[in-house]
Amino acid sequence: MDDTTSRIGVLAAEALGLLIDAVDQIPSEGWDRPSNLEGWSLRDLVGHVTGSAAKVVTLVEDGEIWDRPSQPSDWVCDDPAARLRELATRLHEALPGADLDGMRKSPEGQVPLRRALVFPVSDLALHAWDIHRSQGRLIELPDDLLGLCRDLVEPLPEHMLRRPGGFGPAQAAPDDATPTARLLAYLGRSVEASV
């Protein structure tokens, strides 16, 4: 993962852009429809992942981060796309001066910023896929973001990967599944052609 973490700033901006594109495609009448994540509407899903985007920006800015997963209600707002664009602007402004070797608080303890960003940046990419999937589209993650997500989850033991609040049981993927579909099926998502 060392090569990937050396480019984590680029990947953070790319993942946030992918997320904004996904949110932009939610029709005004679609926000309260169920997402592909059980018990969450699209609005809930976007609220949750907006928290991940805010965490990415806060880490890069060396601000104070919170110690719990983002709850959808923490980040639901009237204009989620505008909120994400504001976060993207802050990220763009903060990245050039960010010390990727500077220590940051993370679930692993104090780690270099480049390591602290891996999980929330992966979260942005995976949930961008979820937003598209919730609207009946299967997309391919860009190779670099797919690699980041794989490098994060594949080495995890099953008990950590599938713990409450983590990923659901692995799902079947068709024989002709794409690399993205295979990863998302492994992470508990349905990748069949129709939602």
Which CATH number do you get for residue 70?
1.20.120.450
Structure tokens at 61: 């800015």
Inside any domain, residue 68: yes
Query: Would residue 21 count as lying in a domain?
Result: yes
| 103 inside domain | yes
Q: What is the mean pLDDT of residues 149-160?
A: 91
Residue whose entry in the numeric block shows the structure tokens 């946030």: 16
Assigned domain for 127 exists: yes
What's the number of CA atoms in the CB half-sphere (13 Å) around residue 119? 16
pTM: 0.91
pLDDT average, residue stretch 3-31: 91
- With a CB cutoff of 8 Å and minimum separation 6, the contacts of 66 are 55
Domain assignment present for residue 182? The answer is no
Residue 46 lies in a domain: yes
Domain that holds residue 62: 4-137
How confident is the model over 43-64, as pLDDT tens digits? 999 999 999 999 999 999 999 8
pLDDT band (50, 70, 90) for residue 195: very low
Residue 142 counted as domain residue: no
Q: How would you write 82-123 as a 3-class SS string?
A: HHHHHHHHHHHHHHHHCCCCCEEEECCEEEEHHHHCHHHHHH
Domain count, the chain: 1
73 falls in which pLDDT band (50, 70, 90)? low
